[in-house]
């Protein structure tokens, strides 16, 4: 376990630093804000891809959703834990350099800049802290070896992350009006809705299928804390999906507006 923790602690920060150097050398016209933002999003996409693949491997190999075990579950949880802590730092650096470019060029790191970051990204920060301080201890110490299938399902929610990151990079490159950005936007909505919202009824359906319980009765067969835990995870996903739909609608309406001069 300590070996996996050390590997994760070296892999993600090392990957981030390597990408920053690579981008600085290959894109000399980019400023520091561009470099750190793209580096953070690339590392996030790589972590999400690893989580998705691990989730698919575990889900496809399990028959009993409650008792079957897979070695990847605890191993990847420990390996990915340093990423959650490091990504908070990487997100702060992105926020800091972007604000520095927009407002105060000679701004220094301070308690004020940290507070501004926490205020702006409070939901994402809470999400990372919950995964690190709540989800990880539950998976490793308190579930008594049960539910590897459901842990793997939660990993598959990361499938939408690379598309979200790509959308931000395309905007940063000035390609927000390109066909690629439009196609990626469709993939963001489809992957987010499928893997972050429909995943929850899928997990309930799989449980009900194994124990011969109708889907609408499954919540009543589960402990209250399981339903509350799922609801606490699902709620921000629904909120974020709503924001994505609103953004997509604004982009669609803006693209559909005529750009020529008005005529009477």
Cβ burial, residue 248 (10 Å; 0-12/13-18/19+)? middle
Give the pLDDT score at 263. 39
Nearest CA-CA partner of 233 in 203, 190, 212: 203
23 lies in a domain? yes
pLDDT attached to residue 123? 83
User: How many whole angstroms separate alpha carbon 125 and alpha carbon 119?
Assistant: 9
Res 168: pLDDT: 86
CA nearest 203: which of 225, 223, 227? 227
pLDDT at position 262, please?
40
Q: Is 149 among the domain residues?
A: yes
- Separation between Cα atoms, residue 93 and residue 108, nearest integer Å: 12
Q: Give the number of domains in the chain.
A: 1
Q: What is the pLDDT of residue 247?
A: 83
| pLDDT, position 260 | 44
Is 212 inside a domain boundary? yes
Q: In this structure, is residue 263 part of a structural domain? A: no
Question: How far apart are alpha carbons 82 and 104 in whole angstroms?
Answer: 31
User: For residue 93, how many C-alpha atoms fall within 13 Å in the half-sphere facing its CB?
Assistant: 19
Q: Is residue 128 part of a domain?
A: yes
pLDDT of 256:
56
Give the pLDDT of residue 61: 94
Residue 149 to residue 235: CA distance in whole angstroms? 21
Q: Does residue 260 form part of some domain?
A: no
Report residues of the chain scoring pLDDT below 50: 258-264
């Amino acid at each position: 376990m300590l070996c996996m923790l050390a590997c994760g602690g070296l892999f993600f920060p090392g990957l981030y630093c390597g990408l920053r150097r690579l981008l600085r050398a290959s894109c000399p016209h980019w400023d520091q804000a561009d470099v750190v933002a793209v580096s953070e999003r690339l590392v996030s996409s790589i972590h999400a891809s690893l989580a998705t693949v691990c989730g698919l491997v575990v889900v496809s190999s399990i028959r009993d959703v409650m008792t079957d075990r897979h070695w990847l579950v605890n191993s990847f949880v420990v390996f990915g834990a340093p990423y959650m802590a490091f990504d908070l730092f990487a997100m702060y650096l992105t926020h800091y350099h972007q604000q520095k470019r927009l407002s105060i060029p000679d701004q220094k790191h301070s308690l004020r800049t940290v507070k501004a970051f926490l205020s702006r990204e409070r939901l994402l920060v809470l999400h990372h802290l919950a995964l690190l301080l709540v989800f990880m201890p539950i998976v490793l110490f308190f579930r008594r070896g049960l539910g590897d299938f459901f842990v793997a399902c939660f990993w598959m929610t990361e499938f939408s992350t690379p598309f979200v990151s790509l959308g931000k990079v395309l905007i940063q490159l000035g390609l927000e009006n390109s066909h690629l950005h439009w196609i990626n936007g469709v993939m963001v909505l489809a992957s987010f809705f499928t893997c972050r919202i429909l995943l929850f009824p899928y997990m309930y359906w799989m449980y009900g299928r194994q124990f011969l319980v109708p889907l609408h009765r499954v919540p009543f067969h589960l402990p209250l804390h399981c339903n509350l835990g799922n609801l606490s995870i699902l709620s921000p996903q629904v909120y974020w999906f709503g924001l994505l739909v609103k953004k997509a609608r604004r982009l669609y309406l803006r693209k559909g507006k005529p750009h020529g001069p008005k005529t009477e």
